[in-house]
Amino acid sequence: MTALDIAPRPLELDEAAARAYVERGAGLRAATPAEAAPELAKIATGIRRDVLTTIQAARMGHVGGDLSVTDLLVTAMWGTLRLDPFDPANPERDRFILSKGHCAAALYSTLASCGFFARERLSEFMAPLSPLNGHPNRVKVPGVETNTGPLGHGFPVATGCALGAKLRGESWRTIVVLGDGEMQEGSNWEAAMTAAHYGLDNLTAVVDRNRLQQGARTEDTNKLEPLDDKWAAFGWEVRIIDGHDHQAIKEAYAPSTTGRPVAVVANTVKGKGVSFMEDRVEWHHKVPTDEQVRLALEELSR
Amino acid sequence: MTVVAEQTPTFDCRIDFADELITMARADERIVAVCNDSVGSSNLVKFREEFPHRLVNVGIAEQDLVGVAAGLANAGFIPFVSAAAPFLTGRALEQIKADVVYSDRHVVLCGQSPGMAYGELGPTHHSIEDISWMRAVPGLPVVVPADPAQTRAAVRWAAASGRPSYLRIPRFKVPAVTPADAVFETGRATRLAEGGDLTVIAVGTMVSRALDAAALLREQGVEARVVNMTFVEPLDVAEVVAAAEETGVIVTAEEGLVSGGLGAAVAKVVAEHRPVPVRMVGVPTFAPTGSTSFLLDHFGLNADGIAKAAREALGRS
Ligand SMILES: Cc1ncc(C[n+]2csc(CCOP(=O)(O)OP(=O)(O)O)c2C)c(N)n1
Ligand SMILES: [Mg+2]
């Protein structure tokens, strides 16, 4: 196959899915966290299944982090933020940034579920000339706010978004999701200072605290603890939660009440939902065999 | 497509890099490895097993990585900083400039998986700019090994040099191209094929492809000289001038951005010493999605692409 044989096909709105997202999403946002949780859990299971088949088709991906971040993504996009698949650049939209860009498969699956593009297109993940690159590209994927992949970039950009909303006197909010290993990058702590200094209570930074990075445990590499004290010392309101409990996540995503930006430390399990992947460092970017995908999908249908 | 025969063995030079580093570390206690959660991707697990206290892993923190290495050099060690090339050279550029090169610290910067070795992971993970960026730091040697033998020689050279250097370690598999009697010294190129019609000057993964291009051109009646310009900085000026004077046409080939890299370095020498036609084969822009092989073909970084550039330069397209 050469480049000339394949024409890159732009991603286009999936109207039916987008309409469903706008309706159901409004209901989930308005519902109490307890009411919304069962439905969010159902959506998240669908996303986990899509992540697995997407990675299976591509024969590449970062499955462990995809599965740890899924509930955080789904609760943000479906249960909290007002995104607009019909007009992804709508200036009034809330902003969602996945700073740990290696988990593109989870981001793409969730964006597709919201109708930003058709779910079938997930099968093109990392295919030659596909808009669905291994790391998200805002120019090619509607719903992506900024190109991530080098760790430690999304948080400063999100801080700029939140500051921009303040400067414009607008009410939209920004959520950024970070890896815990990613928190070793100094740029994040620079952003943490900036956001606190400007009193960005319209910004929520979420750490996917799965305690693993690429090659080892965070605490055996360059330890982050006490992470909550660090956030607090940097001037943030800190909320510590179970990052797989949709009710707790939705509660933690509620706007700040203190005038300070909100840090959510979400305790998660890397590889969550697939028993043989859970909390195992090698599943950072190991690719499951077809048989392992079958077993995983079976576990996820229970 | 490349015409490297299917059975030609190819090598991931990270293996030779790590193996040579271990050998040297056994003999020289000053050698330490410094990583950014890159122990596995740099193939340094064995190094860590043998020298657990001489592998420093700062985590995902490249600015810290290079600054810490400069401090270790201050304390008398010879740090080999080993990290994915895009993050090492891009993220820590100012640390490289100020803490290592301007401060003249003997730190060996090892850019792993450079060029488009990360394929589908895309332009954030590609390192097409590193040769340009590193060339822009005054006095920093930019060393681009083309095969396992050169990778080992580069590691030995860098440890002995007493000065900072940047080594670009290929991950995309390459065949062996270096003759057994080749000399590895500062600023010295290696002539791999003789020909009078033009010279192809290549580095790294493009060297074997330049040899393949020469074979293609020979079938078309064109005799190409092939030069492996291992040191993009300091460049082998005499070899470039000889290519201009003796063959009259030059094509450069690199798995990197055309602006500021090998092609630009060669063009500067040619413009100042002996103006002749120059064509540059390289990566023109951020890549679309695709595997490394796919992208190399996509941008014409193969025997056909180099041969085509040669014919154009000769006015025979
Ligand atoms: C600046 C930078 N350095 C290194 C990497 C390589 N890298 C990709 S993912 C990863 C580990 C990330 O760990 P974490 O943030 O904990 O993510 P998760 O566990 O959620 O996958 C590393 C080191 C990178 N993408 N960017
Ligand atoms: Mg992690």
CA distance B127 to B206: 15
CATH node for B190-313: 3.40.50.920
* Closest ligand 1 atom, residue A185 Cα: 1
pLDDT above 80 for A199:
yes
- With an 8 Å Cβ cutoff, are A133 and B291 in contact? no
Is the per-residue pLDDT at B93 higher than 70?
yes
* Residue A125 predicted with pLDDT over 70: yes
In whole angstroms, give the CA distance from residue A244 to residue A267: 8
**Taking CA atoms, what residue in B is nearest to A58?**
B120
Place B172 in a pLDDT band, splitting at 50, 70 and 90.
very high
Across the interface, of A126, A214, A221, the residue whose CB is closest to B289 is A126
Q: What is the distance in A from the centroid of ligand 2 to the CA of B181?
A: 48
Task: Tell me what pLDDT residue A8 has.
Answer: 83
DSSP-derived secondary structure for A155-200? HHHHHHHHHHHHHHT----EEEEEETGGGGSHHHHHHHHHHHHTT-
pLDDT (average), residues B198-221: 98
The predicted structure's pLDDT at residue B7: 78
Look at A214 and B40 and tell me if their CB atoms are within 8 Å. Answer: yes
Q: What is the mean pLDDT of chain A?
A: 97
From atom 19 of ligand 1, which residue's Cα is the shortest distance away? A213
Nearest beta carbon to residue A133 from set B41, B87, B122 = B122
pTM: 0.96
- Which CATH code for domain A12-299? 3.40.50.970
What sign does the dihedral A227-A232-A234-A236 (CA atoms) show?
positive
Residue with CA nearest ligand 1 atom 25: A150
CA gap A141, A131 in Å, rounded: 7
Position B5 confidence tier, pLDDT thresholds 50, 70, 90: low
Do β-strands B190-193 and B224-228 pair in parallel, antiparallel, or remain unpaired?
antiparallel
Closest CA in chain B for residue A103: B121
Question: Could B60 and A129 be called an inter-chain contact, meaning their C-beta atoms sit closer than 8 Å?
Answer: no
Predicted confidence at residue B19, as pLDDT, reads 98
Q: Write out residues 216-245 of A within 8 Å (CB-CB) of B.
A: 216, 218, 221-222
Higher pLDDT pick, B142 / B2? B142
Q: What is the pLDDT of residue B121?
A: 98
pLDDT digits over B192-201, tens only? 999 999 999 9
**pLDDT value of position A302:** 81
**Per-residue pLDDT, A270:** 98
Average pLDDT, chain B: 97
pLDDT band at B266 (very low <50, low <70, confident <90, very high): very high
Same fold, B4-169 and B190-313: yes
Please give the pLDDT value at position B239: 98
Structure tokens at A241: 């939660």
Q: Name the residue among A102, A186, A214 with its Cβ closest to that of B63.
A: A186
Architecture of the B4-169 domain: 3-Layer(aba) Sandwich (3.40)
B34-69 tens-digit pLDDT: 999 999 999 999 999 999 999 999 999 999 999 999
For the segment A62-68, the average pLDDT, to the nearest whole number, is 98
Q: Which of A200, A182, A209 is nearest to A101 (CA)?
A: A182
Residue B1, pLDDT score:
46
Q: What is the mean pLDDT of residues A146-173?
A: 98
* Per-residue model confidence (pLDDT) at position B101: 98
Domain ranges (residues) in chain B: 4-169, 190-313
In terms of CA atoms, which chain A residue is nearest residue B86?
A150
Which is the closest atom of ligand 1 to the Cα of B91? 1
Give residue-wise pLDDT tens across range A265-301.
Answer: 999 999 999 999 999 999 999 999 999 999 999 999 9
C-alpha A266 to ligand 1 mean position (Å): 17
pLDDT digits (tens, 9 = 90+) for B127-146: 999 999 999 999 999 999 99
Place of tokens 């077809």: A290
Residue A4 has pLDDT above 50, yes or no: no
Contact list in A for residue B86 (CB cut-off 8 A) is 150
